[in-house]
Amino acid sequence: AQRVTQPEKLLSVFKGAPVELKCNYSYSGSPELFWYVQYSRQRLQLLLRHISRESIKGFTADLNKGETSFHLKKPFAQEEDSAMYYCALRRGSARQLTFGSGTQLTVLP
């Protein structure tokens, strides 16, 4: 069965410091992984996906199949990065998502 694990419920860093949000997955097929973000009083929205290999708002995430990980990284955190971050695995013909439990990131001034 598929599973997504985000070990940190809460993460605090200072502005300008590097940040890494961890995500590990288990899935028997070829994984498609995503990071979704929910800013305060806003809807849940897609941040980035592993296939595109792009940087969004300074964030990157590399799929490591050997370690079954998809950690989200940013070299210099900003206060506006404070939000709830969810790692998600897509599966099935209907593209349904399995979400991790989320990490609340707080960037301190």
Partner 1 sequence: DGGITQSPKYLFRKEGQNVTLSCEQNLNHDAMYWYRQDPGQGLRLIYYSQIVNDFQKGDIAEGYSVSREKKESFPLTVTSAQKNPTAFYLCASSRLSGRSSYEQYFGPGTRLTVT
- If one asks whether residue 53 binds partner 1 (CB under 8 A), the answer comes out as no
Beta strands in the chain (DSSP E): 3-5, 10-14, 19-21, 24-26, 32-38, 45-49, 60-61, 72-74, 83-91, 96-99, 103-108
- If one asks whether residue 6 binds partner 1 (CB under 8 A), the answer comes out as yes
11 within 8 A of 104, measured Cβ to Cβ: yes
Q: Which residue from 25, 8, 35 is spatially nearest to 106, judged by alpha carbons?
A: 8
The CB density around residue 98, as the number of other CB atoms within 10 Å, is 17
Among 1-9, 21-29, 58-66, 72-80, the segment contacting partner 1 (CB under 8 A): 1-9
- If one asks whether residue 108 binds partner 1 (CB under 8 A), the answer comes out as no
**Considering only residues 56-85, where is the footprint of partner 1 by CB under 8 A?**
none
Site string for partner 1, 11-50 (x = CB under 8 A): ---------------------x-x--------xxxx--x-
Q: Which residues bind partner 1 (CB under 8 A)?
A: 4, 6, 9, 32, 34, 43-46, 49, 51, 86, 90, 93-102
